[in-house]
Amino acid sequence: MKIGYQIYSARDDAEKDLLGTLKQLKAMGYEAVELAGLYGKTPEEFKACLDEAGIPAISAHVPLADIEKDMFRVISDYKYLGCEFIAVPYTDAESRPGGKKFARTLNVMRTFGELCEKAGITLLYHNHDFEFEMISGEYGLDFIYDAVDAKYLKTEVDTCWAKYAGADPAEYVLKYAGRAPVVHLKDYVGKKVEGKNPYALIGMADDSAKEGEIEFEFRPVGYGCQDFPSVCAAAKQAGAGWVIVEQDESRGRTPLEAARLSIDYLKTLDI
């Protein structure tokens, strides 16, 4: 498997100096990046930075609203950038499993997935922990994958949120063997505090630990509670071609310092 990096993890660095950030990631040994926006650049400007840094864009997280607004433009832009995958990164409460707009979400993903397939791009769905709530006797995430044909929608299992929700990340990746081309590697420590969610990504409040508990904190890959040897073995067995390092927030070190720790750890594994 090849190792990529979700640029959102170093978003401030990318905003200030995209080219320099890409060059540093390339020098660390990352073989591609996954996008989450273009940081104020046009697709042409962004592509020029990728080319100069010598690192490709393998995938892109694109908000569902942007997809629904102009599916053809999204496909055109990210195909131009060289992306093989486009991922739906997040759905709001009304659009996710159990929400009143969930049927619409499924219809959008079916339609967009078919268009992506025709264009030579694979549509992915990237989960958080809330898709592991039960819907009609199964995880909401499974409901999504049951409702959209595997030809048009594949998995991008975020192993942090799978474990955080109480699932076994390795087992869950294996559940979708043959449908799991990209796996997100994300590490953390700490426990969930009732009623709060540690989502740096979507602007919700961080957890505050109760007495005797460790405060929730994202960590570099290999520096938290995850069993990555088993996760990576499962990803390989499931047929994944890519693992993507993501760290929503870095404390005590810069995001790029954390990125180096993550890939240096992954280089010690047989992936």
Separation in Å, CA 120 to CA 33, 86, 157: 19, 11, 21
Q: Which of 162, 204, 151, 152 is nearest to 186 (CA)?
A: 162
Confidence at residue 63, expressed as pLDDT on a 0 to 100 scale = 97
Spell out the residues 6+ positions from residue 51 whose beta carbon is closer than 8 angstroms to its own.
none
Q: What percent of the chain has pLDDT over 90?
A: 87
Q: How confident is the model at residue 270 (pLDDT cuts 50, 70, 90)?
A: confident
Residue 109's SS3 state is helix
Q: How confident is the model at residue 101 (pLDDT cuts 50, 70, 90)?
A: very high
Report the pLDDT averaged over residues 215-244: 96
Report the pLDDT averaged over residues 243-268: 97
Q: Given CATH 3.10.20.30, say whether it is the number of domain 2-192+218-266.
A: no
Secondary element (H or E) of residue 153: none
Q: Which of 84, 90, 78 is nearest to 37 (CA)?
A: 78
Q: How confident is the model at residue 23 (pLDDT cuts 50, 70, 90)?
A: very high
Burial class (CB in 10 A: 0-12, 13-18, 19+), 209: middle
Q: How confident is the model at residue 198 (pLDDT cuts 50, 70, 90)?
A: low
Confidence at residue 193, expressed as pLDDT on a 0 to 100 scale = 46
The average confidence (pLDDT) of the chain is: 93
Query: What residue spans define the domains of the chain?
Result: 2-192+218-266
Q: Is this model's pTM higher than 0.85 or not? A: yes
Query: What residue type is assigned to position 188 of the chain?
Result: Y
